[in-house]
Structure 1
Amino acid sequence: MTKRHVSLPEEAESGLQAFIDEVDERLSGDESTCTVVEDTLIDLFGDRDAYERWQAGADVSPAERVRLQGYDPCNSTLESEYYAEKDEERYKRSKHLQWLWRQFDATPMADNVEFALRFRQMLANHLFDEAGDNLRIFKGVSFSYGHNISIGDNTVVHDNVHLDDRGKLTIGNRVSISDNAHLYSHDHDVVDQTEVRNFHTVVEDDVRITYDAMVRAGSRVGENAIVGARANVQGDVPAHHIVVGAPAQSVKIKPGFEDEAEEIGDGKLVSRQDEREIPYDLPENFEPFDEFQRDVGGPVTPHKQP
């Protein structure tokens, strides 16, 4: 085996667990999530004295005020907040928890692996649609909402992975996702990139997605498969296959699984993206915002302002 058990000193262990339990209990109660997140971040960043002076009416510089206000997730915006089709009710709480997740990663404590893994497990229990036991989620992991993610038991997600759950993302048990990998559940029209389609992307049990790989929206990676470094999966990976390249193709069946694996003669993956589309409706009073301001009728040309 490549890992060994590591434990913290008893005093450090009791203090860290007490803090996690306190935040968990507050998030599980009726208290405003915004308030819990704000309090937690103020203390994690060691800014309680400055915050209380500011609340008491003391003068603060513009920079200090921005910093102190920034602990409250209601004073922030995230990229996913601009997505037109998001579930507004679910997003209210998800945004606050995602803000805590992201800001926690900016604290020194995010590098204390034993503490940080347990803290993120606790947050995942509140944020994800489903969060299995013994999740190991490392630093810099990002997601669109969080509430459209389901992850099984004993799965590890390494540094700087992006889990896009604009559609729906299901990840199985004992999955390993290496650094800088990207798993997508939404796609853009090739002509009008403001036209978004959402999909259900699935990664089955015992899959390994290796360094800097990408799984496109609506793909399915079958159990016990391996996605090679920097591969670009644009279809369904059969169980027990090893795929590499861009676009990814099967180059091998894992040794010992030849009798169980489906044969693919030319190695090409079949896309079933359309079968996994998640339709959505926009509110009748929705006012679209086109960030590109261009005309896509035929060749793309600069948008002419009236």
Structure 2
Amino acid sequence: MTKVHVSLPAEAERNVQAFIDEVDERLSSTEDTCEVVTETLVDLHGDRAAYERWQAGKDLSAAERVRLQGYDPCNATLESEYYAEKDEERYTESKYLQWLWRQFDATPMADNIHFALRFREMLADHLFADCGTNCRFFKGITFTYGHNISVGDNTVIHDDVHLDDRGKLTIGDRVSISDGVHLYSHDHDVVDQTEIRNFHTVVEDDARVTYDAMVRAGIRVGTNSVVGARSVVQGDVPAHHIVAGTPAKSIRVKPGWESVADPLEDSLVNRQDERELEYDLPDDLDAFDEFGRTLTPPDAPDAPEPDSNG
């Protein structure tokens, strides 16, 4: 192992831990989460003086008002807020915490590794369905909701990873997710892309998904396996195998694990249908198609006659 232990100076460490404990305690209390998020972001962005002037009803420029309002997650919308099948009750809370996570990453403190990793792990304890101990979450991680994610112990997720939990996403113990990886848990219909199917995607213990790889919804990445850089995984990865390519194929078994690994196959088996998650939409749903496309194929029996005027 090439890493060494690094720590902050004693005074910096005390201040860092005190701040994390304070936010953790407020999020664990009955205090309004929206208010906690707003005030935490105001302080992290060094905007307390302007915020207090605003609260006191003093004159501010339009830009200052927009900036200060932006710390409050109630004044923001996220892409996932538009998803019809979301759990409204759970989403309300997770949206606030997701806003804190994202806006924290916009502060200079997000690059202070010793502080930022611990701050995100504390947030993950509140946001995720389950988060183990000694997890390391780096900068630029995004997710759909957050509350459909479970992460085990001693797992590391690096920069600019997208954790799609529109369905459900389970990541095991001692997993390594490299920079730029996308783990999906939902798929779009090929004809009507507004039709969504959600799945349970699993990355098992000791697996490693390397740089810029993509794992399709409903796929299982097996124990102690490796997904090669920029691979597109469309079928289950057998335990102890190394897979690579587009689409990914098994290229070898990890040395020393041959006796417990499945034999090499020509292709990975897609078991997506076994992990589909059903959901219901409300009867009074005010739905809309943002694309407005014609969904009837020209060869369908009920296809409209072509326009004679071209």
TM-score range, shorter chain: over 0.9
Instruction: Indicate the SS of the match to 1:294.
Output: coil
- The aligned counterpart of 2:245 is 245
Kindly provide the CA deviation profile for residues 231-262 of structure 1, in whole angstroms up to 9, marking residues without a partner as x. Answer: 00001000000000011000000000011000
- The aligned counterpart of 1:193 is 193
Give, in angstroms, the shift of residue 289 of structure 1.
Answer: 1.5
Kindly provide the CA deviation profile for residues 179-218 of structure 1, in whole angstroms up to 9, marking residues without a partner as x. Answer: 0000000000011111000000000000010000000000
Instruction: Indicate the SS of the match to 1:283.
Output: coil
Could you state the TM-score of these two structures normalised by the residue count of structure 1? 0.97
CA RMSD between the two structures: 1.1
- The aligned counterpart of 2:306 is none
**AA matched with 2:274:** E
Instruction: Indicate the SS of the match to 1:16.
Output: helix
Supply the distance in 1 between the matched residues of 2:88 and 2:264 (Cα, whole angstroms). 43
* 1:159 has 2:159 as partner: yes
Kindly provide the CA deviation profile for residues 132-161 of structure 1, in whole angstroms up to 9, marking residues without a partner as x. Answer: 000100000000000000000000000000
> CA 1:299–1:209 in structure 2 vs 1: closer, same or farther (change >3 Å)?
farther
- The aligned counterpart of 1:304 is none
Give, in angstroms, the shift of residue 299 of structure 1.
Answer: 5.0
Instruction: Indicate the SS of the match to 1:297.
Output: coil
- The aligned counterpart of 1:129 is 129
**AA matched with 1:122:** M
Supply the distance in 2 between the matched residues of 1:153 and 1:115 (Cα, whole angstroms). 19
- The aligned counterpart of 1:284 is 283
Give, in angstroms, the shift of residue 265 of structure 1.
Answer: 3.2
- The aligned counterpart of 1:87 is 87
Supply the distance in 2 between the matched residues of 1:258 and 1:204 (Cα, whole angstroms). 18
**AA matched with 1:258:** E
Kindly provide the CA deviation profile for residues 76-116 of structure 1, in whole angstroms up to 9, marking residues without a partner as x. Answer: 00000000000000001000000000000000000000000
- The aligned counterpart of 1:214 is 214
Instruction: Indicate the SS of the match to 1:282.
Output: coil
Give, in angstroms, the shift of residue 59 of structure 1.
Answer: 1.2
Instruction: Indicate the SS of the match to 2:42.
Output: helix
**AA matched with 1:26:** R
Gapped runs of 5+ residues in structure 2? 304-310
How many residues were matched structurally? 300
- The aligned counterpart of 2:273 is 274
**AA matched with 1:257:** W
